[in-house]
Amino acid sequence: MAARYVVDTDMLVYALDRREPEKRERAREVLRRVGGAGTAALPAQVLSEFANACSRKLEPRPELQAVRREVERLMLAFPVLPLTGPVVLEALRGVEEHLLSYYDAQIWAVARLGQVAVVLSEDFNPGAVLDGVSFTNPLDPAFDLAALG
């Protein structure tokens, strides 16, 4: 089955962040649903950002070996979409035409070029659609998690 969703870094980080228990549980449920259904993919950039955020932002900070095991687990649970030259060029277009920050534009570009219709993220404007890619915030309490799958 082709991916319907690209998962942004914030979903992965919140799933481990003990400081925000409500977001933690909700992010875990989002990952369970899309991971279990095989409907989501992770950009390689997201794995990189996740590893960095875990080692710099989470409290208590996990050991690097624990971060490595979590990245390995994610790589087994989700297809990983590569960062390629065409993605970089498309991201630059996203910066220029859609006024996205560069790294947000890369996530959008991976989704667009990979023909993935929805980015799951708290960081984008929910409901926005850019060149066929829409943005949904599944951490919003008003979002119906049953819609994922």
Continuous segment of H or E residues that includes residue 102: helix 102-113
What residues does each domain of the chain span? Answer: 5-140
Q: Tell me whether residue 42 is exposed, middle or buried, using C-beta atoms within 10 angstroms of its C-beta: 0 to 12, 13 to 18, 19 or more.
A: buried
Q: In what order do the strands lie in the sheet with 118-120?
A: 80-81, 40-43, 5-7, 118-120, 133-136, 129-130
Q: What pLDDT score does 1 carry?
A: 55
Q: Confidence band (pLDDT; 50, 70, 90) for 116?
A: very high
Question: According to the CATH classification, is domain 5-140 in 3.30.300.10?
Answer: no
Over residues 72-86, the mean pLDDT reads 96
Beta strands 118-120 and 5-7: pairing type?
parallel
Return the closest-CA partner of residue 107 out of 44, 18, 19: 44
pTM: 0.93
| Span 13-64, pLDDT tens digits | 999 999 999 999 999 999 999 999 999 999 999 999 999 999 888 888 889 9
| 29 contacts: CB under 8 Å, gap ≥ 6 | 145
